[in-house]
Structure 1
Amino acid sequence: MHADEALRAFRLDGAVAAITGGARGIGRTTAELFASVGARVILLDLNREAAQEAAQKIGSSATAHSLDVAKESEVDVAFETIVRQEGRLDILVNNAGTAIRRPTTELSLADWQRVVDVNMTGVFLCARAAGRVLTAQGSGTIVNVASIMGLSGGGLYPNISYQTTKGAVVNMTRALAVEWARNGVRVNAVAPTWVDTEFIAALKADPDLIATVERLTPMGRLATPVEVANAILFLASPAASIVTGHILAVDGGFLAQ
């Protein structure tokens, strides 16, 4: 295999990719990366203005739609609109997520439910809507954004709803991969460590906590959004054509200890 042929395996020329939570952070970086390797990207985000601004900066290969992933009717309409406007769908990146970090004994049912609605039900709803399209056409891939907290009990601070829902995403990924493999659809997930984005702004305000994270991470630092986006690109690309049901930790060795 020549080098140019190997590199082509990481391109997404002509692919249509929907990215939830695409307005900022990992989602936006992934959209920028996908567009740079030939994909047409649709940024789906609760914040319409931020999504539109991100799409404008990416250029003509990007569009934006408002979406609350926790609302079934909105999800179904969004994916029907994508297929109607683009003619197809090839990739879903299930990135939208939220966290409410409180001690379990102080966590209200409403706050628990909000995290469940976005992090677990939202992933299911988007995967189901995309899966209807992908299984019918006999090809496509889904990459879910889980977390190392879905593979670990954590312990640095209480975050029960986040840890529980990300654990659900891990096994949802495996279950969908098995169910849809014969339909030509691959389903994988990335499990990032703490990523240097707005999502952990409150945590970054505590320098002692970040120092502890860095000390417990063999590589000694947080991940960057582009490092996670690179892993998502691998799993979404033809380079990973035989990979399904896999949870790829992007964690600087955190889980290897």
Structure 2
Amino acid sequence: MPRSVLQRFALDGKVAVVTGGGDGIGRAACRHLASAGAVVIVLDKDGTKANDVARSIAAEGSSAKAHEVSVTDEGGLEAVLGEVIKAHGRLDILVNNAGVAIRSKALEMSIEDWNQVLAVNLTGMFLAARISARHMIAAGNGGAIVNTASIMGLSGGLYPNVAYQTTKGGVVNMTRALALEWVKSNIRVNAIAPTFVRTAFIAGLIGNPEVLATIEAATPMGRLAEPEEIADAILFLASPAAAMITGTILPVDGGYLAR
């Protein structure tokens, strides 16, 4: 491929923040963004995991820094992103990836569990997007926000998981709403909608051979996605190659939603 085309995916000089960057899809996204030239800020509630990712990126010659923070902590997020602006003078990309799942039938789910999932997956994502957008608008450089939704936000799913499905449906429409609200500030807001991905996040499901077989049978491609395949889509939406794309929900699902 001609280098002029590949340059459309380059992120040299950009500063990218990834929430939930310590593991799974977030870890893969951090590594992809760094490989494309971005300075990567790894945020995770688990500081050890965040530091491990940042060190692995630095060991390969790219720039990364880790911060321990929960997306439910508005003050903590403001402080961390303020440090990013102070250190680098800009914030160009937010990969809004932090999320939790508490799988339960609706009739059995406690309101405490419901509120926890909403706090992380919906409110936390909103807070990270809003704080980041304020910095992007103040700098006048625009930016790109990529939210992690899910095929469960666009379908009823395979298993009872009502809080997760509800929040991911909210992420879908929040993405569209923010894309329209911030388009005049040159901030693009998109989302990915991954299928079941081979990460620790669903280890409890795919550790059961019968469940794994059901998931594979429901996926036309017949397999789970790998974290790097989701990160490929994140890199695309964050890059100049997606300059005309905003308000889009991009399934990365092996055909799951096409059924």
- TM-score bracket relative to the smaller structure: over 0.9
Aligned mate of 2:148, from 106, 131, 145? 145
Aligned residue number for residue 246 of structure 1: 248
Q: Please say if 1:86 is aligned against 2:88.
A: yes
**Deviation per residue, 1:84-117 (Å, 9 max, x gap):** 1111100000000000001111100000000000
Q: Does 1:7 align with 2:35?
A: no
- Pairwise CA distance, 1:135: 2.0
Aligned to 2:125: 123
Matching of residues 28-177 of structure 1 within 5 Å: 28-59=27-58, 60-136=62-138, 137-154=140-157, 156-177=158-179
Q: What is the letter of the counterpart of residue 55 of structure 1? A: A
Preserved CA contact (<8 Å) 2:43 2:66: yes
1:196 counterpart residue number: 198
4+ residue runs over 2 A deviation? none
**Unmatched runs of 5 consecutive residues or more in structure 2:** none
Q: Distance in 2 between matches of 1:171 and 1:81?
A: 30
For these two proteins, the number of residue pairs brought into alignment is 255
**Structure 1 residue identity aligned to 2:153:** G
Q: Which amino acid aligns with 1:183?
A: S
| Cα offset, 1:210, TM superposition | 1.1
CA deviation digits over 1:129-167, x for unaligned, max 9? 00101122241000000000000011x211000000000
The two structures have a TM-score, normalised by structure 1, of 0.98
Task: State the identity %.
Answer: 56
- For 2:110 and 2:82, locate their aligned partners in 1 and report how far apart those are by CA, in whole Å: 35
Letter in 2 for 1:38: G
Name the SS of the counterpart of 1:191 in structure 2.
strand
Q: Structure 2: how far apart are the matches of 1:56 and 1:199?
A: 22
The offset of 1:74, in angstroms, is: 1.0
CA-atom RMSD in angstroms: 0.9
Deviation at 1:249, TM superposition (A): 0.1
- Which ranges of structure 1 fall in alignment gaps of 5 or more residues? none
Output the CA distance in 1 between the equivalents of 2:76 and 2:161.
28
TM-score (norm 2): 0.97
